């Protein structure tokens, strides 16, 4: 077993992120018996833009940057997906993230395709003015292909509502009209949606509640461990505690992991992190080695930090009944079968973290209609979308006797394929 795991891990090390996404695609295409023509059409991105552009820096000099925008699919609607600012951004990763968005939007049945963007930069070394200059240049470079009915960006790693505001303003000024629907995740003052900030976590907690019902598991007192304590992780901790009375027993971030078997109040952990910059040292908890958070004895494990953390070796030691993937791609493909064999119920990323893009869709609907909803309405509609998607994936998983991940990809891919076939090929 150990040798197989090592072999699998080294196999996986040679795969690029996009090749890993294609593995899930191929499994879903096999499950559906998808014909080779449709398969080859969906497998690759529709459009990829690479832009090399100059940005004026604080010393008055210009520096060259490279950015990308990939539209994986527009079969079901405009491309939709975030923009990442990071030194490690590359075209392969943007491609993979764009394809994930296609399937994420399809699995929750919102009328979007998938896209993603990225700029190779280190925002930690740039000041506000440089970030604004970079964002406005990048927005101009991609303005040829984005737009409220073409491709709608949103925040991702190291981009935020302010970044979206600059893109919206740049696009609107060039068009000569107010265009809030060109991006989502905007500040509330210029058309952002109530409930957007906590939507990913709320959606994740709603599908965990559905999974618990299905497994006849009581969420009250259920032990929860969470890797990552940012937007997805910290808000998931707060909501699962407040809405369902679950017991958060461990959380972690880049600086450490903390544990208390009896559980602790996530509100206190959030305050502590706001004050000190980390969950490490939270009073009333003990420090544990960071990597052990994924293998703690608990009912619910929420990976909410990075991709590729659940390797076959880690999967072997997972001690949770439910794994809810708030992060994108936390489980490597080879670890999936290990979790399946152990009977762990996995809520796959394209379902578990689709709450964010769902409320982005609500934001776009509100921008297009000029009519804004209350937070209660946003949350009720989000719950409806998440529960419907969960039920459809569960039904498919039972029908084909496959894991929730395969079922989710199958549901998503069948919707994309159906749209593509209905539209045909022009000209």
Q: Which residues are catalytic?
A: 116
Mapping DSSP to helix (H, G, I), strand (E, B) and coil, where does residue 114 land? Answer: strand
**Is 279 within 8 Å of 246 (Cβ atoms)?**
no
Shortest gap between Cβ of 259 and ligand NAD (angstroms)? Answer: 14
163, with CB counted inside 10 A (0-12, 13-18, 19+), is: buried
Which residues, at least 6 apart from 410, have a Cβ–Cβ distance to it below 8 Å? 28, 31, 32, 396, 400, 402
Q: Is 58 exposed, middle or buried (0-12, 13-18, 19+ CB in 10 A)?
A: exposed
Contacts of 323 (CB under 8 A, 6+ apart): 300, 301, 302, 303, 310, 331, 339, 344, 345, 346, 347
Residue 229 lies near ligand NAD (rule: CB under 6 A): yes
Q: How far apart are CA 245 and CA 162, in angstroms?
A: 34
The full DSSP string for 136-177 is HHHHHHHTTT-BTTTEEEEE-TT--HHHHHHHHHHHHHHHTS
What is the nearest approach in angstroms of ligand NAD to the Cβ of residue 353?
A: 4
Q: How far is the CB of 81 from ligand NAD (least distance, A)?
A: 10
* Residues 270-309 within binding reach of ligand NAD (CB under 6 A): 290, 304-306
Give the chain's radius of gyration (CA, Å): 21
- Nearer to ligand NAD (CB atom), residue 114 or residue 233: 233
Binding mask 236-265 for ligand NAD (x = CB under 6 A): ----------------xxx-----------
User: Are 352 and 325 spatial neighbours (Cβ–Cβ below 8 Å)?
Assistant: yes
- Between 139 and 251, name the residue whose CB sits nearer to ligand NAD: 251
Task: Give the binding range for ligand NAD (CB under 6 A) out of 55-63, 69-77, 223-231, 396-404.
Answer: 223-231
> Which residue number, 137 or 383, has a Cβ lying nearer to ligand NAD?
383
Q: Which of 200, 331, 358, 403 binds ligand NAD (CB under 6 A)?
A: 200
Burial class (CB in 10 A: 0-12, 13-18, 19+), 10: exposed
* Residue 232 touching ligand NAD (CB under 6 A): yes
Q: Which of 233, 312, 348, 410 binds ligand NAD (CB under 6 A)?
A: 233
- Segment interacting with ligand NAD (CB under 6 A) among 107-115, 324-332, 335-343, 399-407: 324-332
**Choices 21-29, 205-213, 321-329, 377-385; region in contact with ligand NAD by CB under 6 A:** 321-329
Q: How far is the CB of 124 from ligand NAD (least distance, A)?
A: 12
Residue 73, φ and ψ in degrees, nearest 5: -150, 140
Q: Is 356 in the site for ligand NAD (CB under 6 A)?
A: yes
CB of 258 to ligand NAD, least distance (A): 11
**Which of 8, 133, 311, 353 contacts ligand NAD by CB under 6 A?**
353
| Bridge partners, 84 (sequence order) | 118
Give yes or no for residue 326 binding ligand NAD (CB under 6 A): yes
Shorter beta-carbon distance to ligand NAD: residue 111 or 230: 230
> Is the Cβ of residue 326 or residue 386 nearer to ligand NAD in the bound state?
326
Distance separating alpha carbons of residues 85 and 417, to the nearest angstrom: 31
Residues 134-193 that bind ligand NAD (CB under 6 A): none
Q: Could you say which of 228, 266, 348, 410 contacts ligand NAD (CB under 6 A)?
A: 228
Looking at 107, 327, 351, 393, which residue binds ligand NAD (CB under 6 A)? Answer: 327
Q: Which of 317, 197, 304, 331 is nearest to 248 (CA)?
A: 304
Residue with Cβ nearer ligand NAD (71 or 353): 353
Does position 328 interact with ligand NAD (CB under 6 A)? The reply is yes
Question: Residues in the site for ligand NAD, rule: CB under 6 A?
Answer: 200, 227-233, 252-254, 290, 304-306, 326-328, 353, 356
């Amino acid at each position: 077993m150990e040798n197989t795991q090592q072999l699998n891990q080294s196999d996986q090390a040679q795969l690029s992120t996009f090749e890993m996404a294609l593995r899930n695609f191929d499994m879903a295409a096999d499950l559906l018996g998808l014909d080779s023509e449709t398969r080859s059409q969906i497998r690759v991105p529709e459009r990829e833009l690479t832009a090399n552009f100059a940005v004026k820096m604080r010393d008055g000099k210009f520096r060259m940057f490279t950015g990308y925008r990939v539209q994986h699919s527009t079969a079901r609607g405009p491309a939709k997906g975030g923009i990442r600012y990071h030194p490690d951004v590359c075209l392969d990763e943007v491609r993979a993230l764009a394809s994930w968005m296609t399937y994420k939007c399809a699995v929750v049945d919102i009328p979007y395709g998938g896209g993603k963007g990225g700029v190779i930069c280190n925002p930690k070394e740039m000041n506000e003015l440089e970030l604004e200059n970079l964002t406005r240049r990048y927005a101009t470079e991609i303005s040829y292909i984005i737009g409220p009915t073409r491709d709608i960006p949103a925040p991702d790693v190291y981009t935020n509502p302010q970044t979206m505001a600059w893109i919206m303003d740049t696009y609107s000024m060039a068009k000569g009209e107010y265009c809030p629907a060109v991006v989502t995740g905007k500040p509330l003052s210029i058309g952002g949606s109530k409930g957007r900030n906590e939507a990913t976590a709320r959606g994740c907690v709603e599908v965990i509640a559905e999974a618990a019902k299905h497994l006849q598991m009581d969420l009250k007192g259920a032990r929860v461990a969470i890797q990552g304590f940012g937007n997805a992780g910290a808000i998931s901790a707060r909501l699962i505690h407040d809405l369902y009375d679950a017991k958060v027993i461990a959380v972690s971030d880049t600086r450490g992991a903390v544990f208390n078997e009896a559980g602790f109040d996530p509100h206190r952990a959030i305050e502590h992190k706001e004050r000190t910059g980390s969950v490490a040292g939270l009073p009333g908890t003990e420090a544990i080695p960071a990597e052990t958070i994924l293998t703690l004895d608990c009912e619910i494990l929420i990976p909410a930090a990075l991709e590729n953390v659940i390797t076959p070796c880690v999967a072997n030691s997972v001690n949770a009944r439910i794994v809810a993937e708030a992060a994108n791609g936390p489980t490597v493909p080879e670890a999936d079968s290990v979790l399946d064999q152990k009977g762990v119920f996995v809520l796959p990323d394209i379902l578990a973290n689709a709450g964010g893009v769902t409320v982005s869709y609500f934001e776009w609907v509100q921008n297009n209609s000029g009519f804004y909803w209350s937070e209660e309405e946003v949350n009720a509609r989000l719950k409806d979308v998440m529960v419907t998607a969960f039920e459809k994936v569960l039904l498919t998983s039972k029908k084909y006797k496959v894991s929730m991940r395969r079922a989710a990809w199958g549901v998503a891919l069948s919707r994309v394929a159906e749209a593509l076939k209905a539209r045909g090929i022009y000209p």
